[in-house]
Amino acid sequence: MKVCEGIPVSPGIAFCQAFVLRSLDEGSVIPRSIQKDGIETEVQRYKDAVKKASARLDKELNKLEEQDEISRQILGSHRNMVADPVFAKEVAKCIQEQYVKAESAVHIVMAGYLKRFESMEAAYISERVHDLHDMKRNLLEALGKSVSRNLSSFESEVIVIGHNLTPTETTSMDKGKVRGFAIEVGGRTSHTAIIARALRLPAVVGVKGITRDVRDGDTVIIDGYSGEVIINPDEATLKTYKARAEVADTYYRELVSDVGLPAQTIDGYPIRISANIELPDEIHTAMEWGAEGVGLYRTEFLYDGKELPDEETQFKSYKSALSLVGDHPLVFRLMDLGADKLTLPGFDHEEQNPFLGCRSLRLVNEYPEMFRTQIRAILRASHFGNAKLMLPMIAQLEEVQRFKKLIIEAQRELDKEEIPYNPDLEVGIMVEVPAAALSASQLAREAQFFSIGTNDLIQYTVAVDRVNERVAHLYQPCHPAVLRLIKMIIEEAGKSQIPVSICGEMCSEPAYAILLMGLGLRNFSVSPVAIPMIKKVIRQITMKQARETAQDCLKFKTADECQSFLNVKTRRWLPNPW
């Protein structure tokens, strides 16, 4: 028996025989030269391949059930990628200039895209690499190179094990026989993970070496709650997990069936639960699971590092997102680029301390037109829904004032052009820098709402790079300084009578949610997958109990003492399927 650890991305427990998906080396396309008189033929071969690949994806789309909206959206975006005219133009140019066959041109052009994306550290950007591989595989197959892997038909139930699964492969899986999957790459925001949640398939990603450790026919257990993958379990372990699976299935059904119930404490205090959205595809799931809007809409997915999205592209995307939330609010965060996130065209100089360097709104001096374009797009979209605009990485009052001037200028432009927008669009700030927390009373005079970004607030307060494994143990949400800053922000917002919410990952953890409620927070924005669990926790406690828990936590001198106390104190309220 061997236990492997990964990232749980879709809840549930599955156990049965493994089907190991062997990698197909589509990257080994041998560059084949052609004569000049063969250029037109190869360009036409590529055009025909695009039509063939598009038709195949259309066929897959037609197979999907109408209610499977997320999978349809993702597969639809992949169909659009295959037919992308910019990519087609680059392939044709490669054929014409390098005298190579269409297969080689696809390989060469795609290699450039992959290299650029793979160098980006932000999860929601780097994971688009998997989408590019899927696009490449579809095109090569249409050109006659066998690179597909059939997952649409199995004789018995299986758990799929592989290095990677593309979204196309995931949506085409035999739904009646595939019980779950575990792969070596990916993260919580990959399209494959999103589809797994939509299909209710237990899934674990980021399991290093899983294809080396598992053989076809091995018995495998996937725990989509803990992220564990157990290979060839002994009888006792298998028996335990069978019992857990029954309890977990019942528990999960109860969670989902209760999503329509209000997030309200036993003693009648309502808590507003919104969603953090990485990609538009997640909005449908969030609303289905009971979100009361979107508290953080990350806009960085529109920036691919090669060229900036124009105003019309952004406007259509934002308008579409607003249509999915109805009358509920949707908070657009102005682009937060740099540091560990995507860089921009022409922004190629390295910084010794990128997290403390030219990132986020500090880029306005170098990219004023980029911010102006996004502000105009958001303003235009605000005419079609309950939109709000949020400024990230604010450290000084002058930064808020500068961007409010940009907003006023954009409004005047739209007025002259007679383009409608919401003149009362609310503008708030993320409080995620200690300087902003300590200046909350002054900032509250310029901002119409606060949203506490605990991911960066903790990082900057305790001086710990949250993506550095060597110091990860020092990244402590229960650090006394962090809790005092959060309390201070909430109190200052209350004095200024402006709403305050929290959108960091801290509030997606049930124990911390109880603590944050006790500190005075009434508006949470959490990961969509966490919504059912957080709502259930809220319905199990009183506000008095939450306040007492928070008061006790504030008394501790160390983070470890506070964390240990919180774990014990909240255990009886925390969801536990077994």
Residue with the bigger pLDDT between 150 and 497: it is 497
Can you give the CATH number for the domain in which 286 is found?
A: 3.20.20.60
289/412 same-domain check: yes
Which residue, of 125, 142, 159, is where some domain finishes?
142
Give the model confidence (pLDDT) of 263-307 as tens digits.
Answer: 999 999 999 999 998 778 789 888 988 899 999 998 887 875 556
Same domain (yes/no): 10, 34: no
Residue 577 maps to a domain? no
Q: Any idea which residue has 């490669």 for tokens?
A: 94
**246 is a domain residue:** no
Helices (H), ranges, 99-209:
102-118, 123-126, 129-142, 167-172, 191-198
Cβ-in-10-Å burial (0-12, 13-18, 19+) of 424 comes to: exposed
Residue 153 placed within a domain = yes
Q: What is the DSSP letter of 360?
A: G
Burial label, 204 (beta-carbon count in 10 A; 0-12, 13-18, 19+): buried
Whether 279 and 397 share a structural domain: yes
The per-residue pLDDT for 577 is: 55
Residues 352 and 436 reside in one and the same domain: yes
Residue pLDDT, tens place only, 149-175: 566 677 788 999 988 887 667 777 777
> How far apart (Å, rounded) are the C-alpha atoms in residues 57 and 47?
16
Residues 175 and 232 occupy one common structural domain: yes
One domain, residues 170 and 285: no
Q: Is 174 part of any domain?
A: yes
Whole-number Å distance between alpha carbons of 6 and 2: 13
- Domain with residue 68: its CATH number is 1.10.274.10
Confidence tier at 55 by pLDDT (50, 70, 90): confident
Residue 383 lies in a domain: yes
Average pLDDT over residues 20-31: 58
d(C-alpha 574, C-alpha 578), whole Å: 11
Confidence bin at 497 (pLDDT 50/70/90): very high
> What are the structure tokens assigned to 368, written together?
């004023």
| Sheet strand arrangement including 228-231 | 2-5, 228-231, 219-223, 13-21, 158-162, 178-183, 203-205, 7-10
3-state helix, strand, coil in the chain (%, to 5): 50, 15, 35
- Quick one: 351 and 282 in the same domain? yes
Count: domains in the chain: 3
Query: Which one of 237, 265, 288 terminates a domain?
Result: 237
Q: Catalytic positions, please? A: 191, 503
Residue 473 has pLDDT above 90, yes or no: no
CA dist., res. 275 & res. 269, Å (int): 20
Q: What is the domain-level CATH number for residue 161?
A: 3.50.30.10
What pLDDT is attached to residue 347?
55
Same domain, 304 and 443: yes
- Residue 468 region by backbone torsions, left for phi larger than 0, else alpha for psi between -120 and 50, else beta: beta
- Do the beta carbons of residue 14 and residue 180 sit within 8 Å? yes
Residue 233 lies in a domain: yes
Confidence at 27, pLDDT banded by 50, 70, 90:
very low
**pLDDT-above-70 percentage for the chain:** 83
pLDDT at 206: 87
Question: Which range, of 19-33, 75-89, 367-381, averages the lowest pLDDT?
Answer: 19-33
Residue 578, in any domain of the structure: no
What are the DSSP calls for 257-305, one per residue?
A: HTTTS--B-TTS-B-EEEEEESSTTHHHHHHHTT--SEEEEE-GGG--S
Residue, of 356 and 330, whose pLDDT is higher = 330
**Domain boundaries, position 208:** 2-22+149-237
Average pLDDT, the chain: 84
Q: Both 137 and 206 in a single domain?
A: no
Q: What local confidence, expressed as pLDDT, does residue 414 receive?
A: 97
Asked whether residue 352 falls in the same domain as residue 497, the answer is yes
C-beta of residue 342 within 8 angstroms of C-beta of residue 120:
yes
Instruction: Confirm whether 242 is domain-assigned.
Output: no
Instruction: Tell me the pLDDT tens digit for each residue of 195-233.
Output: 787 677 899 988 988 888 888 888 999 998 888 999 999
Q: Let me know whether 414 and 486 are in one domain.
A: yes
- 362 and 504 share a domain? yes
Whether 26 shows a pLDDT value over 50: the answer reads no
pLDDT for residue 40 is more than 50: yes
How large is the average pLDDT for residues 360-383? 89
* Pairwise pLDDT comparison (70 vs 389), residue with the higher score: 389
Of 117, 142, 167, the last residue of a domain is 142
pLDDT at 116: 66
